[in-house]
A and B are shown apart, each in its own frame.
Chain A
Amino acid sequence: MSTKSVEFLVRRTPELGMDGRPVQVPVLPDGMVPELHGEHMLINIGPQHPATHGVLRLVLELDGETVVKCTPHIGYLHSSFEKLGEYRTWNQVIPLTDRMDYLAPLIYNCAYAMAVEKLMGIEVTERCKVVRVICMELDRIFSHLLWVGTTAIDIGAFTVFLYTFQERERIYDLHEAFTGARITTSSTRIGGMMADLPSGWIEALRDFVDTLPKTLDETEALLTRNNLWVGRNKDIGVISGADALDWGLTGPNLRASGVAYDIRRDRPYYDYDSYDFDVVTGEQGDCYDRYLVRMEEMRQSLRILDQAIRRLPGGPINVGDPRLILPGKTDLMSDMESMIHHFKVVMEGVKAPADESWFSVESSKGELGMYVVSDGGSKPVRWRVRGPSFINLSALPKMVEGHLLSDVIAINASIDIVLGEIDR
């Protein structure tokens, strides 16, 4: 430290007068200019913050109000789901899957069951396929409705949240009538579903499909052309299509950047290629396009639901293999052979051949991959989840760089993460 700066520091100490107040405002020595661009400031958002959508901690390095660097810290919700799965039989893993993404539980139930069925070489029944398509599209709407509501709250529009949550409540009721739980559905089983659709469920779903567009219209009336909403979202968090691909973004975040990649179209499963719907893409790749893409995706999901309700075939929902599916209670109590199968399925668990399989579906947040490895026993040796939220979150530092502090909230909301799945 030079003599000059020491002198400067000494002179900065204010001299106090008789009344205890500084009598002399310190002046800078000749030749020194005030240092306006000082040290960067570190601020901490989270882990307990309403705008981080869970327990995410963001450490932001700010230059003034501009973000220089953003470091997401995760792991506060770590539940070790993948490791727990290694100590559970194939069917016992299913309750773990819906607790990952509690905003779209049925998609995770279905994706896991599909991966195990692929491993075992099981073809599910036609009815089960359509029921699972209904489940997955319903939960895509379920997740997107929450996204619109909470993002609007983060940005400052409160009313949308109330309207979309009333619609979500109706999906909760549909979940409850079908699976018996509102969030922790645990609805699939290897080779089928926990139970068939209850009577009257399709009519309730039809009513929902017919009336949801009204709420979507109201949401768009409140937001789409509102200059406050446009100003907070447009040209914020822009990521180009090439960058989005490099960062591994999938789902609405990638499509908003103009890349028409949708697993339902590019690697169709469950006859998605025979449904009539559009892959929705944006142009700019900013927060506003992500909003537009999700709003339109809900309408496309309604189209798929409408077609699925019409084509829902009759017949059994579970495969007829007694090594996989528990017999009905009437058979169980009257037929000795059913009783033996029942005990064997429960005590030994469903067996899978020694192999591995990968299955990916288009979840509400992006490409959801399930990787299961079996050694021929009744438990997975390894169960790995390619979570879309985790990989989408990794692009957050890239998106927020150079934006203002308040835009971090908008961008973080716009990529639609769920921390249960990030931490797993």
Chain B
Amino acid sequence: MAIGVRVVRAPEANTSYFRASLQGMALTFRHLVRPHKPVLQYPDVKPELAPRWRGTHRMAVHADGRPKCVACGLCPTICPSNCIRLVPGEDDQGNRYPVVYEIDEFRCIFCGMCQEVCPVEAIHVGQDYENAEFTRERFVYDLDRLMAQDHPVTALWDPEDPLGQ
């Protein structure tokens, strides 16, 4: 059988105070002279985010400044935390557009499902995490604010593996 059973036994002898302390200090001293500096000086040095990092939302816009959103209603449906408020509208050419599109970033759990289901690649989660505000109201992002975001968006759909959607 490939799966064996291994019994670990506590060492009967060779336990010590003095030698163990010396060995421990030798080990930590080796780390002292060969440091690999895991600490990041955060506000000055920003961490490099993975391409799939899921952060603050951003709405993609057309070249003429209209939002790409067609108010299909998939993202409020899939959202597990009910943080998207969408009121659809229709212009005189019959194009649907969002009259109200609000995302409550407090309720949001950043699962990325809104981007996953968006059929026109309009709403995105983005590579941004510095979204602190002074008031609670400021955390409800309206459409203008979502369109004004300029951070890079998440590459959930990796072009290198087309099946990875």
A-side interface residues toward B, CB under 8 Å? 88, 91-96, 159, 163, 166, 169, 173, 176-181, 184, 186, 194-199, 218, 221-222, 224-228, 230, 234, 258, 260, 262, 264-265, 272-284, 288-289, 292-293, 295-296, 300, 316-318, 326-330, 332-333, 339, 342-343, 346-347
Contacts and interface: CB of A to CB of B under 8 A. Distances in A.
**B24, B73, B81 — most chain A CB neighbours (10 Å):** B24
Interface string B1-27: 011111111110011110011011001
Contact of A346 (B31, B49, B53, B77): B77
Contacts of B106: none
A178 B157 contact: no
A186 B78 CA distance: 14
A199 B31 CA distance: 32
B154 A180 contact: yes
A281 B77 contact: no
Could you tell me the dominant secondary structure of chain B's interface residues? loop
8 contacts: A88-B80, A159-B28, A177-B52, A180-B125, A228-B17, A280-B5, A342-B119, A346-B77
Nearest to B156: A195
A346 B2 contact: no
Nearest to B117: A346
Interface residues of B, number: 56
Interface stretch (B59-67, B108-116, B140-148): B108-116
Interface string B96-112: 00000000000001111
A113 to B, nearest CB: 14
B51 interface: yes
A196 B162 CA distance: 9
B163 interface: yes
B23 A326 contact: no
A181 B54 contact: yes
Contacts of A94: 111
Given A225-B20, A279-B4, 17 more contacts: A91-B78, A92-B78, A94-B111, A176-B50, A177-B50, A178-B52, A195-B157, A198-B50, A218-B27, A230-B10, A272-B3, A273-B3, A281-B7, A282-B8, A296-B8, A330-B162, A339-B119
B121 to A, nearest CB: 7
